[in-house]
Structure 1
Amino acid sequence: MRAARRRCAPWHPHCPVVPGGRARGALLRVAWLFILWMPAVWATRAPPPPPDLAQRAGFDQRLGARVPLDARFLDADGKPTDLRALAHGKPLLLALGYYRCPNLCDVVLNGMAHSLDGLDLQPGRDFEVVFVSIDPSETPADARHTQAMLARSHPQADVPRWHFLSGDPAAIGALARAVGFRYFYDERLHQYAHAAGLVAITPGGKVAQYFFGVSWPPTSLRLALVDASHGGLGSMIDRLVLLCCGYDPTTGRYSLAIGRTMQVLGVAFVLALAGWLAWLKARARA
């Protein structure tokens, strides 16, 4: 036993010679783990964003711009298609991103599903939802995987009726330029830098409205789709709401338009007054 104790190194975690040898050994193991872990942390620290990020990635609002409805893409099954065929005369709700995005695109897709879950309009019946990858290296298999994952997370959002597309650089670039979607590939991060938002497109292929960010009120999306449908969706109440609410392109939201509201109320008052006077005249003659 003594010989064994002489051979035991003082730093050994179970050294019976040194008091508190077990505790000291545990501390040494933690220290070694920290030393080994720190270089990995330093290596994985993301570099700062480029100084011209805002100029290279973002949204340029192009309300009324023509969208290339005939640009060819591949759907999640690998079949060629285009936006005109997908629209079927209905308004489109478009988002751009990419399927292997490690950050923003998952948030955008989940935000879309959450907002559309609160609509009384249905994708595939009243309007179409289209997500287009900006990465030409992505394939229909990537689209299918993303669609399946999102459908499992949001079973009430009719995700199987959405359209997940991939395409070549020419088709992607034409669509992105038309809607003012700016993006670039950051070689340092091996990721695409891009904006977040939705674009409402009329059945005829014109940009109707923008919604920025990753979360959107279902009521605003509904009004945008009703407005973009040009009478194909909505009720008389929706028409009155659209008369009284104006779309603010700086925020991508609807707000109460005081001037319009006063005009509507003024016209209603004049019509009511004219009707009342006509009733009085008819009563006096009787």
Structure 2
Amino acid sequence: MYTHPPSPFTSRAGMAALLLALVAGMPAQALPGGGKTPRSIIEAQSDAPPQVRGVDVEEHLGELVPLEAQFTDAFGKPVRLRDVLPRTKPVLLTLVYYNCPLLCNLVINEQIRTMRELGLELGKDYEAVAISIDPKDTPAQSLERRRRHLQSMGKPETAPWHFLTGTEENIRRVAEAVGFKYSYDASTRQYVHPAVVHVVTPEGAMSRYLYGTSFRPQDMKLALVEAAGGRVGTSFDRVVLTCFKYDTATRRYGFYIFGFLRLGALMVFCALATMLAYYWRRELKKGAAA
């Protein structure tokens, strides 16, 4: 006698397939955990090698750097971070280490090249600070690097580019405050770290991050002018800043049409006001002559 095959919705296999299809069709938010994959699983499935995981920059815009963190300068003198940060100028802050085989040299050398082309003067318009992330680095190494880099810029040894070394605790305090995430790889005895130059306001707050091993002079200059609140640079630089806006997607300053329109409207207003004042004064002279 002929019998119908069991329905796929009544057999155990069919029910399991149906349940799987329903679960697959559910939105991620409806799944257990809200659809959020634990970070440990994401990192475990990542193609990045273990020593690179967690190395990143977490932007802490507006947050103060730890001014009381203690270091040693290139001349062996103990200093606090507040002692080397000027109160009237912005600062380029770079975290490096002296035995870095490649990346630190690329960042510093590109920073020097860009500083040469800024149109701003080190010491007059801004200052610079480099902090070693390796607690084994010494003031003697700081002094040697400082002399070499200032010489390559054609600057005297009195120029305000401070090279600091310190303890693991104080280095971590600064790194965490600015969002600089790095790690030590014991197998290669090297630090794994991002490539970034930090722009700090005269008050010691984080203002901008310049990423990579290639910087546009325009970006660095506008970042310094912006960090100083227009207190450095020329009047033209401040006008240019109104027409450029920092793009968080490209991490660069781009042309800002609304800033340009505002500037254009202001120029038109000034022209009209000047013209009206001219005609008003001319009419007054005519009335006086009559």
- Do these two structures clear the TM 0.5 threshold for a shared fold by scoring above it? yes
Cα separation, 2, equivalents of 1:95 and 1:158: 20
Alignment of 1:1-286 (within 5 A): 50=49, 53=52, 55-89=53-87, 90-151=89-150, 154-156=152-154, 161=159, 162-277=161-276, 279-280=278-279, 283=282, 286=286
Which residue type is aligned with residue 113 of structure 1?
I
Cα separation, 1, equivalents of 2:280 and 2:121: 50
Which residue type is aligned with residue 62 of structure 2?
G
Q: CA deviation at 1:78?
A: 1.3
Cα separation, 1, equivalents of 2:97 and 2:204: 22
Residues 79/260 of structure 1: CA separation in 2 closer, same or farther (3 Å cut) = same
Residues 155/277 of structure 1: CA separation in 2 closer, same or farther (3 Å cut) = closer
Maintained 8 Å contact 1:245/1:256: yes
> Aligned-pair RMSD on alpha carbons?
2.4
Cα separation, 2, equivalents of 1:143 and 1:63: 28
Maintained 8 Å contact 2:51/2:192: no
- Unaligned 5+ segments in structure 1 are 1-47
Maintained 8 Å contact 2:51/2:184: no
Maintained 8 Å contact 1:147/1:160: no
Q: CA deviation at 1:99?
A: 0.7
Q: CA deviation at 1:157?
A: 5.1
Residues 116/157 of structure 1: CA separation in 2 closer, same or farther (3 Å cut) = farther
SS of 1:150's partner is helix
Q: In structure 2, what is the equivalent of residue 19 of structure 1?
A: none
Cα separation, 2, equivalents of 1:165 and 1:240: 35
Question: Deviation per CA, 1:82-133, whole angstroms, max 9, x where unpaired?
Answer: 2321123221110001111111111111112211122333323332111101
Residues 251/52 of structure 1: CA separation in 2 closer, same or farther (3 Å cut) = farther
SS of 2:262's partner is helix
Q: Which moved more, 1:135-144 or 1:66-75?
A: 135-144
Cα separation, 2, equivalents of 1:235 and 1:117: 17
Cα separation, 1, equivalents of 2:60 and 2:193: 17
Which residue type is aligned with residue 65 of structure 1?
E
- Unaligned 5+ segments in structure 2 are 1-46
Maintained 8 Å contact 1:184/1:193: yes
Maintained 8 Å contact 1:151/1:160: no
Maintained 8 Å contact 1:113/1:159: no
Which residue type is aligned with residue 233 of structure 1?
V
Cα separation, 2, equivalents of 1:104 and 1:49: 18
Q: CA deviation at 1:61?
A: 1.7
Q: Which moved more, 1:168-177 or 1:271-280?
A: 271-280
Q: CA deviation at 1:49?
A: 5.2
Residues 62/249 of structure 1: CA separation in 2 closer, same or farther (3 Å cut) = farther
Question: Deviation per CA, 1:207-232, whole angstroms, max 9, x where unpaired?
Answer: 11111112222333222222222343
Q: CA deviation at 1:283?
A: 4.8
Residues 234/116 of structure 1: CA separation in 2 closer, same or farther (3 Å cut) = same
SS of 2:197's partner is strand
Maintained 8 Å contact 1:150/1:159: no
SS of 1:56's partner is coil
Which residue type is aligned with residue 133 of structure 1?
S
Q: How many residues align?
A: 237
Q: CA deviation at 1:171?
A: 1.2
Residues 252/157 of structure 1: CA separation in 2 closer, same or farther (3 Å cut) = farther
Maintained 8 Å contact 1:117/1:157: no
